[in-house]
Chain A
Amino acid sequence: MRISKKAKEENRGKILQVAARLFVEKGFAETTTRDIAGAMGMAAGTMFNYFDNKEVLAMTLVAEAMETGREAYLRRRTGQEDLAEELFLLISSELRMLKPYKGFIGPVLESAMSLFPKNTANSAGEKSRAHHMELVEAITRRQGYSSVPALIAATLYWSLYLGILAFWVRDQSRNQEETLALIDYSLQLFSQTLSGNSHQQ
């Protein structure tokens, strides 16, 4: 039976919702694609028409939340931020949208956004990473930082960023305030490095 594009979009949205609920309730590892299909009243095979596997599904959820966060960043930007502040705004806006998924996000990020990506790259993760880095590059360019080669700056940034994500996932402090301090510190460090001023005054 062929279904309309609209119905397909709706199904996709519903699967994401159900999966998010199950991941939060049961944990990522304990949730199977069969569980998700069951909760949808859908054959497991049908679900594979939408998502290749559980990892892709989870990463899609995460990537969409991050995308919403990046939209929030663009909206919240005042134009008065310096480099460290603007990057802080980007990351904190993303994290706020990721918050509902904090409970299961660790393994997802590990498999999809790692510094050592698997051979079979997760396309949702790759896309999300690419979009995030486009914004970072636009920010550094606009702020006039060009003394460090772009590839090096990007790699440096990405390792800091993954470190922040990994820390945030395990951060039990009130309102994850330890992460806020960590982002602040990391980005000051990054901005000092880019400006060629890594020594303390």
Chain B
Amino acid sequence: MTTESTVGDALKISELLKALPSEINEEAAPRDPLADLIVRLSTRAVPVSSLARMWSLGSMQAKIAMAYLAYAVRGKFMDETERQKLLNETNLTAALKLLGTMGYLRGAIMKVGQMLASLPKVLPKEFAEVLGCLHFEAPPMHYAMIREVFIDELGQEPEEVFASFERQAFAAASLGQVHRARLKTGEQVAVKIQYPNMQRMIASDMHNLRTLVAPMRFHKDWAYLMDHIADAEEMLRQEADYGREAAFMERARQVFSDEARIVAPGCYRNFSSSRVLTMDYLEGIHLQEFMRQNPPPERRNHFGELISMAMIRLSYHARSYYADPHPGNFLLMADGRLGFLDFGCYRELSEEEWQMRNDGEKAVIFTHDQKLLDKVIAYGCLHDSTAEMKKEWVDLVQRTVAWQGEPALRDEPFDFSDEEWFQRGVDIMVETGKQRQSRYAPAYNWINRSIIGHRTLMYRLQCRFNFRRVYMENNPNVSAFAR
């Protein structure tokens, strides 16, 4: 077919390189081969994934994501023979086409692309904004679809299950959307409904992702890369199980039961399933709207403290990391309480992982024991000792840990709005990205996402408070470490 061969011919590595951000601009020549490919991808039929229509692959950020993906994949086989390069180029062409068929993950990939677009200098504000919306998106559902999901899941139409049900969603959620309703017993509830077929879509995306990175299969870190993908797949699979989320939400309610200022909604199990989650409706606003109102420092600090407290407590009680601390998951209530809304994405640590995490905490915050820290770093990077690791990588991990621990070190208000501090963190993350290391335990993907997500929220809140005090007061390890 003519179109196919044009696409194939057009996609040479040299041309992909030309499409890299330094040379991409909105006025780019219309015959840009990468753009052409992407436009064609956007018109390609996608089997079951109705997500396709949501993403315009002709957009600038998509182009950038594609170009970077090409660059990243290519970087893995820089030193190989011409023949191998050609082969990889063919694989890459296939891989890029495949990216066009990804439903659920594509959104996240595009967002990363958007952020990478500002390399080498990522500004704190851009970083914070992109991280804030770096979550996966499902397409919107009309009411007729909601009704089918309800009959399948709860055996009745929404208007039979509830006294009233708002047909328009009031919020988007990971994997679905949220509707307001009233129970027949009078309670106001929020009903989270999952877009059909998400579980399988995730599986299919992950399958595609594996194919996408297949050109790297001879690389020494291949096995580690596969571990990360398997781990991510498991996390996403868990996130798609609302029954599991309901259980964690109930657990969180217990954790916050003696802290009236933090509210986790109650779950109504009789009106919930693995695809529908009915919970208390909480009234409040999200961070963006809060900041638009120019709140005084005390209020910003207040919510900064509460978000920190909630995350710290949950972490210790459930031996897990809340890996999705984006603004939409926290509700700032008029009476000063904090609503903690979404419990779908958390990573539980194994006994061994938790022990190592505690050792790391002890070394960084309490004892400043370099030997212990090195042991933890080696463990995290799947080595017996840091001596086996590249010096630059050890150094970078040490700087990452130090940056993350900084707010907990000083017993005085920490200024999370400090541009210099946040920029340092962003630079470290950008540098980490460039190192393209995959030899480390997958749990750190989520631990880092949790900590960086928290620091980003604090930065966006422009708050300043004694983080160390909050950390110590809510940390059951303190007494043990103090000994």
Query: Which A residues form the contact surface with B (CB < 8 A)?
Result: 76, 78, 80-82, 84-86, 88-89, 92, 96, 173-175, 177-178, 180-182, 184-185, 188-189, 200-201
* Contact assessment for A200 and B53 in the assembled complex, using a CB-CB cutoff below 8 Å: yes
* Contact assessment for A181 and B197 in the assembled complex, using a CB-CB cutoff below 8 Å: yes
Partner of A177, one of B43, B46, B52, B196: B196
Q: Measured between alpha carbons, how far is A158 from B53 in the docked complex, in Å? A: 22
Looking at chain B's contact residues, the main secondary structure is helix
CB interface residues, B 147-186, toward A, < 8 Å: 147-149, 151-153, 157, 167
* Contact assessment for A173 and B197 in the assembled complex, using a CB-CB cutoff below 8 Å: yes
- Write out the residue numbers on chain A whose beta carbons fall within 8 Å of the beta carbon of B462: none
* Contact assessment for B144 and A81 in the assembled complex, using a CB-CB cutoff below 8 Å: yes
Tell me whether A178 and B46 are in contact in the complex, defined as CB-CB below 8 angstroms, given that A80-B167, A88-B142 are known contacts: no
Q: With an 8 A cutoff between CB atoms, is B49 at the interface? A: yes
Q: With an 8 A cutoff between CB atoms, is B421 at the interface? A: no
Query: Which B residues form the contact surface with A (CB < 8 A)?
Result: 42-43, 46, 48-50, 52-53, 56, 58, 139, 141-145, 147-149, 151-153, 157, 167, 195-197, 199-201
Partner of B56, one of A78, A181, A189, A201: A201
* Contact assessment for A180 and B197 in the assembled complex, using a CB-CB cutoff below 8 Å: yes
Q: Measured between alpha carbons, how far is A175 from B276 in the docked complex, in Å? A: 14
* Contact assessment for B48 and A181 in the assembled complex, using a CB-CB cutoff below 8 Å: yes
Q: Measured between alpha carbons, how far is A174 from B49 in the docked complex, in Å? A: 16
The 7 closest A-B pairs by CB, nearest first: A185-B50, A177-B196, A175-B152, A180-B196, A85-B142, A89-B144, A181-B197
Partner of B46, one of A82, A84, A92, A185: A185
Q: Measured between alpha carbons, how far is A174 from B148 in the docked complex, in Å? A: 13
- Write out the residue numbers on chain A whose beta carbons fall within 8 Å of the beta carbon of B43: 200
Closest chain B residue, CB of each to CB of A86: B144
Q: Measured between alpha carbons, how far is A81 from B53 in the docked complex, in Å? A: 20
- Write out the residue numbers on chain A whose beta carbons fall within 8 Å of the beta carbon of B153: 175
- Write out the residue numbers on chain A whose beta carbons fall within 8 Å of the beta carbon of B42: 200
- Write out the residue numbers on chain A whose beta carbons fall within 8 Å of the beta carbon of B195: 181
Smallest CB separation, B301 vs chain A (Å): 42
* Contact assessment for B50 and A177 in the assembled complex, using a CB-CB cutoff below 8 Å: no
- Write out the residue numbers on chain B whose beta carbons fall within 8 Å of the beta carbon of A178: 48, 196-197, 200
Q: Measured between alpha carbons, how far is A201 from B147 in the docked complex, in Å? A: 28
Most buried by A among B142, B157, B167, B201: B142
* Contact assessment for B145 and A177 in the assembled complex, using a CB-CB cutoff below 8 Å: no
* Contact assessment for B148 and A92 in the assembled complex, using a CB-CB cutoff below 8 Å: yes
- Write out the residue numbers on chain B whose beta carbons fall within 8 Å of the beta carbon of A174: 199
Can you give 24 contacting A-B residue pairs, CB < 8 Å? A76-B157, A81-B144, A85-B142, A85-B144, A85-B145, A88-B142, A88-B144, A88-B145, A89-B144, A92-B144, A173-B197, A175-B152, A175-B153, A175-B196, A177-B196, A177-B197, A178-B48, A180-B145, A180-B196, A180-B197, A181-B196, A184-B139, A188-B53, A200-B53
Q: Measured between alpha carbons, how far is A173 from B195 in the docked complex, in Å? A: 14
- Write out the residue numbers on chain A whose beta carbons fall within 8 Å of the beta carbon of B200: 173, 177-178
Closest chain B residue, CB of each to CB of A167: B48
Q: Measured between alpha carbons, how far is A200 from B153 in the docked complex, in Å? A: 32
Q: Measured between alpha carbons, how far is A178 from B53 in the docked complex, in Å? A: 16
Partner of A84, one of B142, B147, B201: B142
Q: Measured between alpha carbons, how far is A91 from B145 in the docked complex, in Å? A: 11
* Contact assessment for B52 and A185 in the assembled complex, using a CB-CB cutoff below 8 Å: yes
* Contact assessment for A76 and B50 in the assembled complex, using a CB-CB cutoff below 8 Å: no
